[in-house]
Structure 1
């Protein structure tokens, strides 16, 4: 095998500490063990020649300057996946005037409530909470005006119950709420991929929204060998070379919840379970970057 030089491109304000918490950093360890050179780039100021560039900018939209920089390289991972906002990737959006009347969920258009955009300075910090919002937070009452993480998402049994202000807010989206339930457990599926390498798992939880594996809602998780053809076709439509797709199976159909181009490896230093899981993902997927 020819030894490769692989560059991983981060946002210029991204820290080395945060970069090391990603699944991509786990891949890099394997590439280096196998004799390849890996460079971590922070911003577009310095061009370092490489065989492959991985765009790993933790924003919902990849800025054009990073795409322009990336096009200098002979092969680029995720050059085609430039926008993962919910309005771009969702197939279950609901509008106020459409015919859908069933249960809905309110999310932010940006991934992770726009937190990465705030951290990297592309979006201003949220305004201080009002007195009413502070009271709601104190008593653990959800507010569509304060959604920062998936645990803040709101579910309504009928679309007509959604406040009108939500439909007028460009930072929020309304989707059909289509969970996958087996008995008392909810199933949430995660599909990881790099090139032709794939890994698919199911998380069984006691709640319909589960985004933090360390919480008390996780019942069990396991690898699922069968990967839906419909999901693979959706990935191809997105032009996604690397990432994670959260989804469920509802009435035999794939329902996508979220797309992530920069998935985290979790607390690999402090949590042995997370470390073993990240190692499994890296072992299975890292070779997907090699030319076939």
Structure 2
């Protein structure tokens, strides 16, 4: 059995105590995968920060920040196998296939997003925890961007927004349905995966508010994009627009669905299979 180290930031909260009984739980999908790996007799150690730097057969870099600090990446590289060590930057401008190019002639609707994953909320949360501990903010100068905004044409974008490095201006490439809009979520760990298409009446599709869903195949161009971005574990959000798969968002610390016990049990077992497959590939 392998000794697996989960590398989190010093101010990450992989585990929290919640409810009247103060039981340990987590908002991350990894929580259930780790539980399954432990049931299979693997030893899992959480390295919170870089002070102790435990060793192991393999590691997973699970720092919930858009850009993983270099010292955490260097620690990950010290292991024979470290998942997501090559996926250190998941900013929208880097991963999205819909980023507006002034030379592409697009005159349709555009959407303005934060360039950071989850609008920079994880970094601001870690900054608050650092201040409470009397320490310097690990991610200073993280501005509040606010809600996504959709404009009918690029000409309606306010001055200065396109050049703002904290924002990502993208073509609004909707996957339209007669009764709404669709968005596809691809969750994977190694060779294990599931890909689901959600349809919603809202233009900004969320898995929590949908009309229907269905399992769909993963397009080859998304698999190629995953290899380019260096992802071993995570979640991709994408659409198929005019016959082309377009990646919109890539997350290396995906969240955990709440109140979906059966889905979590089935999904965590499958993704744990993928983790073990990578261990075998590396002779671990």
- 1:138 is aligned to none
Q: What's the CA shift string for 1:162-217, capped at 9, x where partnerless?
A: 1112123221111011010121221110001111111111111111212351xxx4
- 1:276 is aligned to 262
Residue range with higher mean Cα deviation, 89-98 or 35-44: 89-98
- 2:272 is aligned to 286
- 8 A contact 1:118–1:124 mirrored in 2: no
The answer as to 2:144 corresponding to 1:158 is: no
Q: What's the CA shift string for 1:88-107, capped at 9, x where partnerless?
A: 11222225576321111100
The answer as to 2:145 corresponding to 1:178 is: no
SS of residue matched to 1:120: helix
Structure 1 residues 284 and 265 mapped into 2: Cα distance closer, same or farther (>3 Å)?
same
Q: Distance in 2 between matches of 1:211 and 1:80?
A: 28
SS of residue matched to 1:166: coil
- 1:64 is aligned to 70
Q: Distance in 2 between matches of 1:99 and 1:60?
A: 29
The answer as to 2:231 corresponding to 1:240 is: yes
- 2:191 is aligned to 196
SS of residue matched to 1:280: helix
Unpaired stretches in structure 1, ≥5 consecutive residues:
127-145
Q: Distance in 1 between matches of 2:221 and 2:89?
A: 20
Q: Distance in 2 between matches of 1:161 and 1:80?
A: 37
- 2:4 is aligned to 6
Q: Distance in 2 between matches of 1:177 and 1:16?
A: 33
SS of residue matched to 1:164: coil
Q: Distance in 2 between matches of 1:170 and 1:22?
A: 28
TM-score by length of 1: 0.84
Structure 1 residues 219 and 199 mapped into 2: Cα distance closer, same or farther (>3 Å)?
same
Match of 1:93 among 69, 80, 99: 99
SS of residue matched to 1:92: coil
SS of residue matched to 1:168: coil
Deviation at 1:21, TM superposition (A): 2.1
The answer as to 2:43 corresponding to 1:51 is: no
Unpaired stretches in structure 2, ≥5 consecutive residues:
17-24, 128-138
- 8 A contact 1:95–1:167 mirrored in 2: no
Q: Count matched residues.
A: 259
